[in-house]
């Protein structure tokens, strides 16, 4: 048995760690919610792309604003309270969105999405703090298990909307989704969690990170990669419906296949990492994602879109585990409880990518929705080469 496999078993057998990590299932569900629900809200029938972009901005703003509030609540009330509050707020926000009439102004939904983003930020902060002891014991296994649970949450909400698209009203679908964070709120209320509070990195640490060329390259790679993933996850159904004439259910099914490809691809990447050279593996993955984006941009049928989506999903799958491993090696003091140093800037900036796409699509049409991730994926390919070169120069 490999060390990673053994570590993975430790994570799964640790009841408190599993309970905390399971929160990433709800985090993934909330993260994947907007991309899945847009066709149900009827945005595949309109050209209000900037409105859709503003929805992503609202959710991103909620996540950013929640950072300070999460830190204060964590110190005053503890991890358990933060987990309960986050799930309860997400449940309430989804129910409120279910009650918004179809003809209501867009800002009503923006307010609900801001609340969902706020709840997601609280939840992530609580989960990352709660898993700190397990992360310290085995970072690789913790990241792998957490990533699988997060991906399953994204897949769950997409499959749920696709499976009920023609069978239930939008109100019923949203109430059904709200049951999941509601259940977790009750479950967490009946559980207990150890008080694990990690120290927040200082401004001096941020500037220390900025002094390293390797850190800047990794942060840029993280910026484009997260922007690429969220852009495709948010805009793929609208793109397929408007560009190819796919049905909403078929478009959502292809989005579900994207999430499934990410999950399976990351499991395969974990198995392959000990056996292949990481630089070449990263280069191959980025190249595969570029080819998938090109195919999505050029295809005129659903089969081509399916193959392109599989290539993009599998190509993206290996990139984050390789980046996470590099972060752990370059920055051994990295703590999962906070977006440390320059990586906070990268992740915050990447969340703005789908908003930018909405306004660009208003000017150049829906095709730009896939063209921009293609450019971003090419940037990932360039950055992979630069990181490879920087490592060779540094090591002599």
Per-chain mean pLDDT for the chain: 82
Asked whether the predicted pLDDT for residue 230 surpasses 80, the reply is yes
Asked whether the predicted pLDDT for residue 90 surpasses 50, the reply is yes
Average pLDDT over residues 56-64: 89
Alpha-carbon distance of 211 to 125, in angstroms, equals: 27
Q: CATH 1.20.1250.20 occupies which residues in the chain?
A: 1-198, 203-396
Nearest CA-CA partner of 373 in 362, 386, 361: 361
- Give 64: exposed, middle or buried? Use CB within 10 Å, 0-12, 13-18, 19+: middle
Asked whether the predicted pLDDT for residue 320 surpasses 80, the reply is no
Question: pLDDT tens, 111-156?
Answer: 999 999 999 988 988 888 787 777 767 666 777 778 888 899 999 9
CATH of domain 1-198: 1.20.1250.20
- For residue 233, CA distances in Å to 10, 32, 47, 333 come to 31, 7, 19, 31
Q: Quote the pLDDT of residue 379.
A: 86
Question: pLDDT tens, 348-390?
Answer: 666 788 999 999 998 888 888 888 888 888 888 888 778 777 7
Exposed e or buried b per residue across 240-267, where buried means at least 16 C-beta atoms within 10 angstroms of its C-beta: bbbbbebebbbbbbbbbbbbbbbbbbbb
The structure tokens listed for 74 are: 């964590």
Alpha-carbon distance of 282 to 21, in angstroms, equals: 27
Alpha-carbon distance of 225 to 364, in angstroms, equals: 23
Q: Residues of the chain with pLDDT > 70: what percent?
A: 81
Asked whether the predicted pLDDT for residue 3 surpasses 50, the reply is no
At 327, the pLDDT band (50, 70, 90 cuts) reads low
Average pLDDT over residues 170-197: 87
CATH of domain 203-396: 1.20.1250.20
The structure tokens listed for 394 are: 């540094």
Q: Quote the pLDDT of residue 331.
A: 58
At 343, the pLDDT band (50, 70, 90 cuts) reads low
Asked whether the predicted pLDDT for residue 341 surpasses 60, the reply is no
Asked whether the predicted pLDDT for residue 39 surpasses 70, the reply is yes
């Amino acid at each position: 048995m490999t060390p990673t496999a053994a570590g993975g078993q430790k994570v799964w057998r640790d009841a408190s760690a599993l309970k905390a990590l399971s929160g990433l299932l709800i985090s993934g569900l909330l993260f994947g919610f907007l991309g899945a629900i847009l066709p149900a809200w009827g945005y595949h029938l309109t050209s209000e792309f900037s409105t859709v972009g503003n929805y992503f901005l609202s959710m991103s703003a909620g996540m950013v604003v929640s950072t300070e509030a999460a830190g204060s609540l964590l110190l005053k009330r503890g991890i358990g309270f933060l987990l309960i509050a986050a799930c309860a707020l997400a449940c309430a926000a989804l129910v409120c969105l279910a009650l918004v009439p179809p003809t209501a102004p867009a800002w009503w939904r923006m307010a609900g999405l801001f609340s969902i983003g706020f709840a997601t930020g609280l939840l992530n902060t609580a989960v990352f703090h709660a898993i700190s002891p397990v992360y310290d014991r085995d970072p690789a296994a913790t990241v792998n298990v957490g990533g699988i649970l997060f991906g399953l949450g994204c897949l769950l909400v997409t499959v749920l909307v696709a499976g009920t698209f023609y069978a239930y009203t939008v109100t019923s679908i949203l109430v059904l989704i709200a049951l999941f964070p509601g259940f977790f709120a009750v479950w967490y209320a009946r559980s207990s969690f150890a008080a694990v509070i990690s120290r927040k990195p200082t401004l001096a640490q941020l500037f220390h990170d900025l002094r390293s060329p390797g850190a800047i390259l990794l942060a840029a790679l993280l910026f484009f990669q997260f922007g690429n993933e969220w852009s495709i996850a948010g805009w793929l159904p609208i793109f397929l419906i408007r560009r190819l004439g796919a049905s909403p259910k078929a478009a959502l099914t292809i989005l579900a296949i994207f999430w499934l490809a990410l999950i399976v691809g990351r499991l395969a990447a974990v198995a392959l990492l000990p056996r292949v050279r990481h630089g070449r593996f990263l280069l191959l993955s980025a190249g595969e994602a570029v080819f998938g984006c090109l195919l999505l941009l050029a295809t005129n049928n659903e089969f081509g879109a399916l193959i392109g989506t599989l290539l993009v999903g599998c190509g993206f799958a290996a990139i984050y585990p390789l980046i996470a491993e590099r972060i752990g090696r370059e920055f051994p003091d990295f703590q999962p409880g906070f977006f440390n140093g320059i990586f906070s800037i990268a992740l915050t900036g990447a969340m703005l990518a789908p908003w930018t796409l909405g306004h660009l699509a208003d000017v150049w049409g829906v095709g730009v929705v896939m063209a921009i991730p293609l450019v971003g994926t090419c940037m990932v390919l360039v950055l992979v080469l630069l990181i490879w070169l920087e490592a060779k120069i540094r090591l002599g």
